């Protein structure tokens, strides 16, 4: 057997810590090693050509690449050895970057020692590798998109236009998400509703999109190419095909409750249109505030509905369907400023969130003035962001720009206004953002660098007094304002957290959904065929949300378009001699790939290798060692352990 070992410098990432020469000398002494080389960048085109040539010239049958994580470049090198005519499964990566040079930066000698151990483990594993062959599996063209904010809408439209069948599931009675609430959008100041509503209208018009509003996901099981979805449609009590949105029902309804679309600043009836641009454009009956869903309690809406659209007897409906891939676009919620006690949010009616202000400005543009905005206005930045006291270390990325937008909209509407933005750092990172910030300054908005320490409402005048240091002059400012706007940060929506649990997705700090790789797989997850986009992945603005949504659609299309996809042959199989048919494996298999069958009168476990996803649960649970997993054979793992422990192998 001839094993080739290649040690990568990673342009200094490894070689600045690990002594490459020593690792090479060590590798040379290992049995079956026929060739040891190093390279500044093993992943580069030249180095990979060299690898192909070496495999052919020296007749290598196994390859060990000591470089970065297989998560990062595993596929790259598998492709390279395949090009040289070998099975991609005789290539092993020894991760001496993420698991060695990076974490042990300050201990180069120990790092070198560890690198040797890691390389040795890869060599002993490679020695036992078998030249497995790739499998292919059939795949259909059905996608579940969860959440219909701008992210979900964009992804659904892209997929629908490309000819894929989309199930778009939205838990609210209308699609549109948070963007539907906004006034204008930075940095161009387009009216949010004007650019969003055509896209919203395109959704039901697209023959490939099945829109399920007022619907939540109950469960998802299965795997890439075969996800079984159970969704539950909550009763709307209004037939959307019959409702003409004439408003007679709402006029008749005696119940008045706060309107969540206007952040509770206005009120609505128990039967109502979710918002002026709602899609589907139909009323919904809120059964929590309705006086009772039977004619004896109150049937005013039912009585006036000429279209006969109201049905009090509607029940929750379970909907089952199967999809091949999934896109999660479940978005964000704003930080609840009541958690930031020093800002007295709950106590003063003159302290509002930025989302409240978005609604006030939108409604004013439509001719409804809910309350006066006043002459002196202060924006407080970083409320719930970059604040370890409330447990949020991250920057919410959009608040600098929305405050820049809202402040200048107020100032331009009434140039006599005094508008101040109190910020910690002004982050105008996007295209056209710096110019937009400058425009705000030119408009006369005053930007003051300092985090507001406290707010107090004057009990007589109801004006709000704030205290802040201008950190550039070191003066302490104490000033009174008519209105204080809290530029609240973003946090993952409850729906995002729920879906993460349903799909067992990994979360990054802060609870956002974690991408498979921050640079090269920004919308993939580690669950095959599950993609993420928009604010569910992390705080971002609309341009970035839309870009990610289209990216997620493209990544899903890439998997489904050919009608089949390549699968690693890393599946479990049974050693029938050892198997006692106890069935523990079948019980732990999350994919229902294992059945217990009778063979010659003996109970035996059988793995359906098409269904098996290679998670290894059965192998770990098998008491007799009968279950084995290809590429991760127990013999291989034992050899690696022995190598790590310094035993002779």
Contact residues for another protein, defined by CB under 8 A: 342, 382, 386-389, 424-425, 449-454, 467-471, 474, 476-477
Tokens of 620: 């770990």
Rounded CA-CA distance 411/416 in Å is 7
- Between 396 and 628, name the residue whose CB sits nearer to ligand FAD: 396
- Determine phi and psi for 55, rounding to 5 degrees: -55, -45
The neighbouring-strand residues paired with 95 are 67
Number of H helices, E strands in the chain: 16, 34
In whole angstroms, how close is the CB of 396 to another protein at the nearest point? 13
Which contacts (CB < 8 Å, 24+ apart) does range 428-432 have? 428/400, 428/401, 428/404, 429/397, 430/187, 430/401, 430/541, 430/543, 430/544, 431/187, 431/543, 432/187, 432/188
Angle between the N-to-C axes of helices 150-161 and 542-560, in degrees from 0 to 180, rounded to the nearest 10: 40
Which one of another protein, ligand FAD, none interacts with residue 170, CB within 5 to 8 A by kind?
A: ligand FAD
- Between 156 and 354, name the residue whose CB sits nearer to ligand FAD: 354
Reported residue count of the chain is 649
* Total interface residues for ligand FAD by CB under 6 A: 42
What number of other Cβ atoms are within 10 A of residue 484's Cβ?
28
In whole angstroms, how close is the CB of 575 to another protein at the nearest point? 55
Site string for ligand FAD, 147-176 (x = CB under 6 A): xxxxxx----------------xxxx----
- Binds ligand FAD by CB under 6 A, chosen from 90, 119, 229, 334: 334
In whole angstroms, how close is the CB of 191 to ligand FAD at the nearest point? 11
DSSP string, 302-340: HHH-TT--B-TT---EEEEEEESEEEE---EEE--GGGS
Q: Is there a contact between 211 and 204 (Cβ–Cβ < 8 Å)?
A: yes
- Between 369 and 472, name the residue whose CB sits nearer to another protein: 472
DSSP label of 175? S
Site string for ligand FAD, 391-430 (x = CB under 6 A): -------x---x--x-------------------------
- For tokens 């400012």, name the residue: 477
* CA-to-CA separations, 611 to 524, 527, 559, in angstroms, rounded: 21, 15, 17
Site string for ligand FAD, 126-145 (x = CB under 6 A): --------------------
**Bond prior to 503 in cis (omega within 30° of 0):** no
- Between 402 and 437, name the residue whose CB sits nearer to ligand FAD: 402
* CA-to-CA separations, 637 to 123, 126, 127, 335, in angstroms, rounded: 12, 11, 12, 47
The region of 16-24, 233-241, 328-336, 628-636 touching ligand FAD under the rule CB under 6 A is: 328-336
- Contact between 331 and ligand FAD per CB under 6 A: yes
DSSP string, 416-444: T-EEEEEESS----STTHHHHHHHHHHHT
Which one of ligand FAD, another protein, none interacts with residue 507, CB within 5 to 8 A by kind?
A: none
Which one of another protein, ligand FAD, none interacts with residue 467, CB within 5 to 8 A by kind?
A: another protein
- Between 219 and 624, name the residue whose CB sits nearer to ligand FAD: 219
Tokens of 18: 């690990």
- Binds ligand FAD by CB under 6 A, chosen from 144, 270, 354, 410: 354
In whole angstroms, how close is the CB of 425 to another protein at the nearest point? 8
Which contacts (CB < 8 Å, 24+ apart) does range 128-131 have? 128/633, 128/635, 128/636, 128/639, 129/62, 129/89, 129/90, 129/92, 129/631, 129/636, 130/87, 130/89, 130/90, 130/630, 131/86, 131/87, 131/89, 131/90
Which one of another protein, ligand FAD, none interacts with residue 451, CB within 5 to 8 A by kind?
A: another protein
Site string for ligand FAD, 182-221 (x = CB under 6 A): x--xx-----------------------------xx----
Tokens of 155: 């992804």
- Between 195 and 526, name the residue whose CB sits nearer to ligand FAD: 195
**Bond prior to 187 in cis (omega within 30° of 0):** yes
In whole angstroms, how close is the CB of 161 to ligand FAD at the nearest point? 18
Which one of ligand FAD, another protein, none interacts with residue 179, CB within 5 to 8 A by kind?
A: ligand FAD
Angle between the N-to-C axes of helices 20-28 and 108-128, in degrees from 0 to 180, rounded to the nearest 10: 30
In whole angstroms, how close is the CB of 502 to ligand FAD at the nearest point? 8
- Between 15 and 275, name the residue whose CB sits nearer to ligand FAD: 275
In whole angstroms, how close is the CB of 535 to ligand FAD at the nearest point? 4
Site string for ligand FAD, 28-57 (x = CB under 6 A): ------------------------------
- Between 548 and 628, name the residue whose CB sits nearer to ligand FAD: 548
In whole angstroms, how close is the CB of 448 to another protein at the nearest point? 10
Rounded CA-CA distance 533/326 in Å is 11
Q: Is there a contact between 623 and 605 (Cβ–Cβ < 8 Å)?
A: no
Which one of ligand FAD, another protein, none interacts with residue 361, CB within 5 to 8 A by kind?
A: none
- Contact between 356 and ligand FAD per CB under 6 A: no
- Between 22 and 467, name the residue whose CB sits nearer to another protein: 467
- Between 130 and 454, name the residue whose CB sits nearer to another protein: 454
- Between 393 and 564, name the residue whose CB sits nearer to another protein: 393
In whole angstroms, how close is the CB of 426 to another protein at the nearest point? 13
Positive/negative CA dihedral, 109, 110, 115, 120: positive
What is the number of the residue whose Cβ is closest to ligand FAD?
A: 495
- Contact between 495 and ligand FAD per CB under 6 A: yes
Site string for ligand FAD, 575-604 (x = CB under 6 A): ------------------------------
- Between 233 and 451, name the residue whose CB sits nearer to another protein: 451
**Within 3-44, where are the H helices?**
20-28
Q: Which of residues 521-560 bind ligand FAD (CB under 6 A)?
A: 534-535, 540-543, 545
Rounded CA-CA distance 516/532 in Å is 10
In whole angstroms, how close is the CB of 495 to ligand FAD at the nearest point? 2
Q: Is there a contact between 249 and 272 (Cβ–Cβ < 8 Å)?
A: no
Q: What share of the chain is helix, strand, coil (3-state, %, to 5)?
A: 35, 25, 40
Which one of ligand FAD, another protein, none interacts with residue 594, CB within 5 to 8 A by kind?
A: none
Which one of another protein, ligand FAD, none interacts with residue 256, CB within 5 to 8 A by kind?
A: none
Grouping H, G, I as helix, E, B as strand and the rest as coil, residue 50 is helix
The neighbouring-strand residues paired with 267 are 258
- Taking every pair of Cα atoms in the chain, the longest distance, rounded to a whole number of angstroms, is 93
The neighbouring-strand residues paired with 381 are none
> In the complex, which residues of this chain contact ligand FAD (CB under 6 A)?
146-152, 169-172, 177-179, 182, 185-186, 216-217, 329-332, 334, 354-355, 358, 398, 402, 405, 493, 495-496, 498-499, 534-535, 540-543, 545
């Amino acid at each position: 057997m001839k094993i080739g070992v290649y040690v990568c410098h990673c342009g200094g990432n490894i070689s600045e810590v690990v002594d490459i020469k020593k690792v090479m000398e060590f590798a040379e002494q290992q049995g079956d090693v026929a060739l040891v080389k190093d390279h500044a960048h093993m992943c580069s085109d030249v180095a990979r050509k060299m690898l192909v040539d070496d495999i052919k010239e020296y007749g290598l049958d196994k390859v060990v690449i000591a470089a970065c994580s297989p998560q990062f470049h595993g596929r790259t090198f598998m492709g390279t050895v395949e090009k040289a005519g070998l099975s991609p499964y005789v290539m092993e990566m020894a991760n001496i970057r993420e698991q060695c040079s990076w974490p042990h930066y300050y201990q180069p000698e120990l790092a070198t020692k560890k690198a040797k151990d890691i390389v040795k483990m890869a060599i002993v594993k490679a020695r036992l590798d078998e030249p497995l062959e790739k499998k292919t599996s059939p795949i259909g063209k059905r996608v579940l998109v969860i959440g219909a904010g701008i992210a979900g809408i964009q992804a659904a439209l892209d997929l629908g236009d490309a000819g894929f069948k989309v199930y778009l599931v939205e838990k609210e009675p209308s699609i549109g998400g948070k963007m539907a609430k906004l006034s204008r959008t930075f940095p161009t100041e387009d009216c949010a509703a004007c650019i969003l509503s055509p896209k919203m209208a395109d959704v039901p018009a697209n023959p490939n999109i099945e829109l399920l509003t007022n619907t939540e996901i109950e469960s998802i099981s299965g795997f890439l190419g075969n996800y079984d979805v159970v969704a539950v449609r909550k009763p709307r009590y209004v037939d959307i095909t019959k409702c003409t949105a004439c408003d007679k029902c709402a006029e008749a309804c005696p119940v008045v409750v706060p309107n969540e679309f206007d952040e509770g600043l206005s009120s609505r009836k128990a039967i109502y249109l979710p918002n002026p641009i709602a899609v589907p454009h139909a009323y919904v009956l809120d059964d929590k505030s309705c006086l009772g869903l039977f004619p004896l309690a109150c049937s005013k809406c039912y009585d006036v509905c000429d279209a006969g659209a109201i049905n009090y007897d509607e029940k929750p409906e379970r909907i089952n369907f199967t999809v091949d891939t999934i896109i999660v676009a479940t978005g964000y919620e704003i930080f609840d400023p009541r958690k930031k006690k020093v800002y007295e949010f709950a106590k003063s009616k003159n302290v509002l969130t930025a989302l409240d202000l978005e609604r006030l400005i939108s409604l004013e543009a439509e001719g409804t003035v809910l309350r006066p905005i006043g002459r002196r206005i202060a924006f407080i930045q970083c409320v719930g962001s970059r604040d370890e006291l409330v447990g949020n270390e991250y920057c919410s990325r959009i608040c600098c720009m929305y405050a820049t937008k809202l402040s200048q909209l107020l100032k331009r509407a009434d140039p006599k206004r005094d508008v101040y933005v109190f910020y910690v750092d002004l982050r105008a990172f996007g295209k056209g953002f710096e110019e937009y910030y400058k425009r705000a300054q030119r408009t006369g908005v005053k930007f003051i660098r300092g985090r507001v320490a406290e707010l107090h409402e004057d009990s007589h005048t109801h004006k709000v007094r704030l205290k802040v240091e201008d950190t550039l002059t070191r003066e302490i400012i104490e000033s009174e304002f008519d209105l204080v706007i809290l530029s609240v940060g973003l946090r993952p929506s409850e729906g995002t957290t729920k879906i993460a649990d349903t799909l067992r997705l990994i979360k990054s700090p802060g609870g956002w959904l974690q991408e498979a790789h921050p640079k090269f797989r920004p919308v993939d997850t580690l669950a095959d065929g599950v993609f993420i986009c928009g604010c569910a992945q992390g705080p971002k603005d609309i341009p970035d949300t839309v870009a990610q949504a289209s990216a997620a659609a493209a990544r899903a299309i890439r998997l489904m378009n050919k009608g089949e996809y390549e699968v690693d042959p890393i599946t479990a199989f049974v050693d029938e001699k050892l198997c006692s048919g106890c069935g523990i494996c079948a019980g732990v298999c999350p994919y229902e790939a294992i059945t217990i069958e009778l063979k010659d009168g003996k109970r035996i476990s059988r793995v359906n290798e098409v269904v098996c996803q290679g998670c290894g649960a059965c192998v770990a649970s098998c008491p007799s060692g009968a279950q084995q997993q290809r590429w991760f054979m127990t013999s291989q793992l034992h050899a690696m352990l022995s190598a790590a422990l310094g035993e002779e192998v």
